[in-house]
């Protein structure tokens, strides 16, 4: 204990010093660690309350944690809507970097639900905060089944919500993760998870906030001499003589005239026909690569007359609230350490502190998980060994019996070899059954209209 | 203990037998091994190689197409169609960077550096790829189609022909529902192949957009029916399985086919002649002649296919007079025996019509 305290002390002192230095220039617009007075700062919405679908929040550190005293708020009821928000002094991020950061832990082994938060602007009735309340930024993880595991980064511009065009995977385990969104005055952004940068880029290219800067020239026409056929019929390939005379069908050589056939009554008998295997359909010449092929034609790009730059693209002039608005089929998501600041360094330190608290637990938990998985694999392998051993024993016994019988006659070695091969194949086949299919599917275009 | 071991032994034997049978049916595609791969590939002929695993679902779906490809190129000396079981030949598959199944790779003549095939997994598409890469022009054996393929060149000539009832499918090559419909549509067309007044047609409406626009086609597939009496066309809104199509055409066109193209037991029967036939059967030999004359009068009033069927009524009634009371029953039995034997579809139609009409005389 004394030893642990000594180790902690230098870190704490260093952190305090660094924070003091930061405070002289940085500004924290909102910080929430969910200490015991958190209820005075957050307003639980009445949204869905009348329908008895509003879920309750627990103030807790969760079932596993790095610090039992470090609490957050956790969803507690399944199949419920959750809506809660907090107010901070209104500010604009013009000429400032905006950092929005919080930690999320899905203790419930979430199969479908969100873990995101929102920043809201202007005046909001916090008692009516809900899914339809306009927001400025929505950021955080969203999980549903196997196909949706993404980090949302939605920006509202001219009253329209724009989703990020990049696919940023989120964490899907049951541990605490810190999500960080950084928005800079040069209209660039970054998304970090546990202080690791997952995506960075420009608002111009990664959202459709403005019309594209360049467009295909609508006046441009493909030149008449542009050849975009990659393959052409081979002019050297001639239709073989007699090709068109090949009949589609042939008389069935197996057919016989029925005994009851009466030529006078029924006319002359003709056999039924079968498809002619030599019939190949209408003639098509062999395809060869087109020597004049110039590739697919593309219209040249021109400046888009509809494009009008906005130097304040990144600006949210009236930021005032932070909120959580979710539907959870399976509850148990825990939020903590919410931070809104203009100082990425401070956010980084807070993230490190947050994640660092939990990472030892993370290691221990992972150890249990991997150990369990290893044990399961060993059990499967043992089962398989037993099966193969029984199979081998049965085979050997049959082989022995056969040899005893053959001792009365001349033995045939090649037969024994064949049976051994068969047994090997059988073993491989049973082994194959346990493997996961790694198939590839040809993609089908989904653009076209289908009935 | 003994019984469970015995069961296991039988199981092993059954598996071995199944493997033998499955390998026996795959002769046209060459199975390569670690030992044989570089003796067959990269030498004096090019090779298309499928790397697969027996447990892979996509490989199983590809198998019949790949077998057909093997059969198609069997006689082509410059091309080898081969496959490798990656469960058994692991070193070959890892050497050529196979990480998913099935992987299809093209090895040019004299080369062990493959080009990955990423086109459609049908025999037609694979054959087209091989033909281009190998410089061959081998064609897949083609089952004749009974569907009339329309284009702007022949659309009006076929569809607006007032002597034909025409069903037209407007499709697009990329449309999944159209692909699902295609084999059913082909079967319907084959079923009505002998009814010359009935035409089953299709048109690539994605390729010929003017036709699609003219007939108000906005989704695929769209089916429109152009009967003899209404060449403006009407939408087909019925079901899209074989029986629904057959029932629709039978109702609209006055035909009597089943899904296999055979005539039903109602084909050829004319309801307006029922009473006269009953009278004919119960009449004595003198009265039969009088009833026969009245039948002739009624048949003269018939038109179209009914007129042809009416003539059959008269012919069979005359035979009844000549051959006596048991003619109808005996002839039905004779016709039934022959319908089970090798006869052409046209003759089968003729016999079925006779049998159906005779059943009203029995």
**Every domain of chain B and the residues it spans:** 28-132, 146-251, 269-359
**Residue B102: is its pLDDT beyond 80?**
yes
Stronger pLDDT, B283 or A367, i.e. the higher one: B283
Give me the residues of chain A with pLDDT under 70, please. 1-25, 146-147, 358-367, 369-371, 373-451
Provide, as residue numbers in chain B, all residues whose Cβ is less than 8 Å from the Cβ of A284.
139
**CATH number for the domain that contains residue A63:** 2.60.120.200
Residues 6+ apart with CB under 8 A from B218: A449, B212
**Cβ contact, residue pair A438, B99, below 8 Å:** yes
Give a yes or no: residue A256 inside a domain.
Answer: no
B28-132 and B146-251 have identical folds: yes
pLDDT at A21: 52
Of A248, A432, A450, the CB nearest to B144: A248
Is A48 annotated among the ligand-binding residues? Answer: no
Segment B301-309 shows an average pLDDT of 89
Q: Which chain A residue's Cα is nearest to B218?
A: A449
Q: How many domains does chain A have?
A: 1
**Residue B26: is its pLDDT beyond 60?**
no
pLDDT at A381: 57
Stronger pLDDT, B6 or B340, i.e. the higher one: B340
Site from A439, A444, A447 to mutate, B interface, most B CB atoms within 10 angstroms: A439
A390-394, B232-236, B325-329 — which is least confidently predicted?
Answer: A390-394
- Over residues A269-321, the pLDDT tens digits come to 888 888 887 888 888 888 888 888 888 888 899 999 999 999 999 999 999 99
**Cβ contact, residue pair A272, B345, below 8 Å:** yes
Catalytic residues of B: 56, 59, 175, 178
Q: Is the CB of residue A449 less than 8 Å away from at least one CB of chain B?
A: yes
pLDDT at B58: 86
CA A209/CA A163 separation, integer angstroms? 9
Domain limits for position A32: 27-207+314-342
* Smallest Cα distance from A112 to chain B, Å: 28
Domain B28-132 has CATH 3.40.30.10: yes
Domain B146-251 has CATH 3.40.30.10: yes
* Smallest Cα distance from A432 to chain B, Å: 6
A306-320, A373-387, B110-124, B269-283 — which is least confidently predicted?
Answer: A373-387
- Selected residues 238-277 of chain A with any CB under 8 Å from a CB in chain B: 248-249, 252, 254-262, 266, 269-273, 275, 277
Provide, as residue numbers in chain B, all residues whose Cβ is less than 8 Å from the Cβ of A437.
55-58, 101
**Cβ contact, residue pair B137, A237, below 8 Å:** yes
Provide, as residue numbers in chain A, all residues whose Cβ is less than 8 Å from the Cβ of B353.
none
pLDDT at A431: 27
B42, B107 in Cβ contact below 8 A?
yes
| Secondary element (H or E) of residue A324 | strand A319-328
Count CB pairs under 8 A between chains A and B.
146
pLDDT at A422: 32
pLDDT at A71: 92
**Residue B345: is its pLDDT beyond 80?**
yes
**Residue B194: is its pLDDT beyond 70?**
yes
Percentage of chain B with pLDDT > 90?
A: 66
**Residue B275: is its pLDDT beyond 70?**
yes
pLDDT at A77: 92
Give a yes or no: residue A33 inside a domain.
Answer: yes
Q: The domain B269-359: what is its CATH number?
A: 1.20.1150.12
Write a three-state SS string for chain A. Answer: CHHHHHHHHHHHHHHHHHHHHHHCCCCEEEEECCCCCHHHCEEECCCCCCCCCECCEEEECCCCCCCCCCCEEEECCCCEEEEEEEEEEEECCCCCCEEEEEEEEECCCCCEEECCEEEEECCCCHHHCCCCCCCCEEEEEEEECCCEEEEEEEEEECCEEEECCCCCECCCCCCEEEEEEEECCCCEEEEEECCEEEEEEEHHHHCCCCCCCEEECCCCCCCCCCCCCCEEECCCCCCCCCHHHCCCEEECCCCCCCCCCCHHHHCCCCCCEEECCCCCCCCCCCEEECCCCCCCCCCCEEECCCCCCCCCCCCCCCEEEEEEEEEECCCCEEEEEEEEECCHHHHHHHHHHHHHHHHHHHHHHHHHHHHHHHHHHHHHHHHHHHHHHHHHHHHHHHHHHHHHHHCCCCCCHHHHHHHHHHHHHHHHHHHHHCCCCCECCCCCCCCCCCC
* Smallest Cα distance from A63 to chain B, Å: 41
Which of the 8 DSSP states describes residue A298?
-
**Cβ contact, residue pair B144, A440, below 8 Å:** no
A418: left (phi over 0), alpha (psi -120 to 50) or beta: alpha
- Selected residues 274-303 of chain A with any CB under 8 Å from a CB in chain B: 275, 277-281, 284-289
pLDDT at B22: 38
- Over residues A349-380, the pLDDT tens digits come to 998 887 777 666 656 665 676 667 666 656 65
Cα dihedral B159, B163, B164, B170 in deg (nearest 10): 10
Give a yes or no: residue A170 inside a domain.
Answer: yes
């Amino acid at each position: 204990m004394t030893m642990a305290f000594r180790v902690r002390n230098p870190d704490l002192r260093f952190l305090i010093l660094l924070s003091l230095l930061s405070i002289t220039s940085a500004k924290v617009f909102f910080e929430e660690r969910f200490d015991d007075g958190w209820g005075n700062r957050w307003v639980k919405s009445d949204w869905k309350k009348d329908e008895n679908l509003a879920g309750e929040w627990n103030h807790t550190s969760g079932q596993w944690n790095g610090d039992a005293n470090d609490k957050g708020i956790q969803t507690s009821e399944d199949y419920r809507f959750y809506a809660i928000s907090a107010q901070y002094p209104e500010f604009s991020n013009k000429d400032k970097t905006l950092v929005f950061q919080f930690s999320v832990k899905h203790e419930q082994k979430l199969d479908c639900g969100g873990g995101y938060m929102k920043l809201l602007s202007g005046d909001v009735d916090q008692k009516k905060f809900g899914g339809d309340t306009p927001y400025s930024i929505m950021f955080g993880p969203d999980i549903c089944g196997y196909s949706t595991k993404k980090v949302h980064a939605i920006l509202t511009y001219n009253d329209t919500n724009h989703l990020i065009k990049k696919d940023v995977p989120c964490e899907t385990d049951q541990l605490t993760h810190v999500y960080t969104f950084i928005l800079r005055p040069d209209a660039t952004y970054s998304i970090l998870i546990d202080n690791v940068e997952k995506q960075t880029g420009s608002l111009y290219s990664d959202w459709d906030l403005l019309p594209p800067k360049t467009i295909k020239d609508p006046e441009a026409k493909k030149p008449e001499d542009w050849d975009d056929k990659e393959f052409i019929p081979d002019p050297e390939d001639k239709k073989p003589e007699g090709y068109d005379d090949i009949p589609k069908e042939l008389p069935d050589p197996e057919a016989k005239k029925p005994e009851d056939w009466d030529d006078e009554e029924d006319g002359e008998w003709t056999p039924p026909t079968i498809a002619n295997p030599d019939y190949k359909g209408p003639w098509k010449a062999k395809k060869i690569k087109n020597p004049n092929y110039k590739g697919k034609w593309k219209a040249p790009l021109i400046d888009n007359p509809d494009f009008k730059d906005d130097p304040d693209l990144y600006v949210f002039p009236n930021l005032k609230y932070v909120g959580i608005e979710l539907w959870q089929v399976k509850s148990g998501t825990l939020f903590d350490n919410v931070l809104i600041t203009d100082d990425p360094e401070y956010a980084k330190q807070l993230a490190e502190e947050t994640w660092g608290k939990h990472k030892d637990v993370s290691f221990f938990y992972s150890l249990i998980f991997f150990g369990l998985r290893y044990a399961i694999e060993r059990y499967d392998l043992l089962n398989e060994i037993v099966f193969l051993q029984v199979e081998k024993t049965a085979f050997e016994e049959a082989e022995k019996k056969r040899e005893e019988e053959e001792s009365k006659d001349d033995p045939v070695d090649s037969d024994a070899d064949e049976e051994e091969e068969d047994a090997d194949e059988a073993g491989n086949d049973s082994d194959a059954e346990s493997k996961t299919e790694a198939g590839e599917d040809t993609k089908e275009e989904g653009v076209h209209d289908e009935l | 203990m003994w019984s469970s071991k015995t069961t296991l032994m039988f199981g092993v034997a059954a598996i071995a037998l199944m493997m033998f049978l499955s390998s026996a049916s795959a002769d046209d595609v060459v199975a390569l091994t670690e030992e044989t791969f570089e003796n067959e590939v990269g030498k004096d002929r090019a090779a298309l190689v499928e790397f697969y695993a027996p447990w892979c679902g996509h490989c199983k779906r590809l198998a019949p197409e790949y077998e057909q490809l093997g059969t198609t190129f069997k006689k082509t000396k410059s091309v080898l169609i081969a496959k490798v079981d990656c469960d058994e030949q692991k070193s070959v598959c890892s050497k050529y960077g196979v990480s998913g199944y099935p992987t299809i790779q093209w090895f040019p003549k004299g080369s062990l550096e493959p080009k990955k095939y990423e086109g459609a997994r049908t025999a037609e598409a694979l054959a087209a790829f091989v033909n281009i890469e190998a410089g061959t022009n081998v064609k897949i054996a083609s089952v004749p189609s009974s569907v009339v393929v329309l284009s702007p060149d022949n659309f009006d000539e076929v569809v607006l022909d007032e002597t034909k009832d025409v069903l037209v499918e407007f499709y697009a090559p990329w449309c999944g529902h159209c692909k699902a419909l295609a084999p059913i549509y082909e079967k319907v067309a084959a079923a009505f192949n002998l009814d010359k007044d009935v035409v089953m047609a299709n048109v690539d409406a994605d390729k010929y957009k003017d036709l699609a626009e003219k007939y108000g086609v906005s989704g695929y597939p769209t089916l429109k029916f152009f009967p003899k009496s209404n060449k403006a066309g009407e939408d087909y809104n019925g079901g899209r399985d074989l029986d629904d199509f057959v029932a629709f055409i039978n109702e609209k066109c006055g035909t009597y086919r089943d899904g296999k193209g055979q005539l039903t037991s109602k084909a050829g029967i004319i309801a307006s002649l029922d009473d006269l036939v009953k009278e004919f059967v119960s009449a004595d030999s003198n009265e039969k002649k009088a009833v026969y004359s009245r039948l002739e009068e009624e048949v003269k009033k018939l038109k179209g296919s009914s007129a042809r069927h009416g003539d059959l009524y008269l012919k069979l009634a005359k035979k009844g007079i000549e051959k006596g009371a048991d003619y109808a029953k005996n002839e039905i039995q004779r016709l039934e025996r022959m319908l089970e034997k090798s006869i052409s579809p046209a003759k089968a139609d003729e016999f079925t019509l006779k049998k159906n009409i005779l059943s009203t005389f029995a």
